[in-house]
Amino acid sequence: MERTFAIIKPDAVERKLAGKILDRIEAAGFKIVGMKKIKLCKSRAEGFYYVHKERPFFNDLCSFMSRSPVIVLVLEKENAIADWRTLMGATNPANAEPGTIRKDFAVNIEENSAHGSDAPETASFEIPYFFSALELV
């Protein structure tokens, strides 16, 4: 079994789409082993997205991620990372496949409703950033 990290982003939570996204996650065979709704402060968002700190979108991204609550998740299944990325769809919803979360729910490339780890190394940083081992069941 593999684990991956996911976020239902502020745009989706604000529009009350979390339940629909969670339904899709479970329908795709993922086991939710960790989940909580939190409000990130800007410094916590900056720490999470530190790999993008030199990019021009960094400040806007951190402001967006800290503007309202998010739902952070740890998902488990075989090929969890690749399968979650497929279910999310392309970063730019205009390029996402029909039936993906981003195609169906995203506002635009900046407010694209979901985040997911892109590699095992990323997941190994992202999961403990938000969850202790005791919170994963």
| 111-134 pLDDT tens trace | 999 999 999 999 999 999 999 999
Buried b (16+ CB within 10 A) or exposed e, 39-68: ebeeebbbebbeeeeeeeebeebbebbbbe
3-state secondary structure of 36: strand
* Average pLDDT value for residue range 39-50: 95
Catalytic residue among 3, 24, 85, 115: 115
Burial grade of 70 (CB within 10 A; 0-12, 13-18, 19 or more): buried
Q: Residue 35 corresponds to which tokens in the numbers above?
A: 């989940």
115 is catalytic: yes
Residue 56: the pLDDT is: 92
pLDDT on residue 78: 97
Name the pTM for this structure: 0.94
How high does pLDDT run on average in the chain?
96
What is the pLDDT, as a whole number, of residue 12?
A: 98
What is the percent of the chain with per-residue pLDDT over 90, rounded to a whole number? 97
Residue tagged 């005791």 (tokens): 134
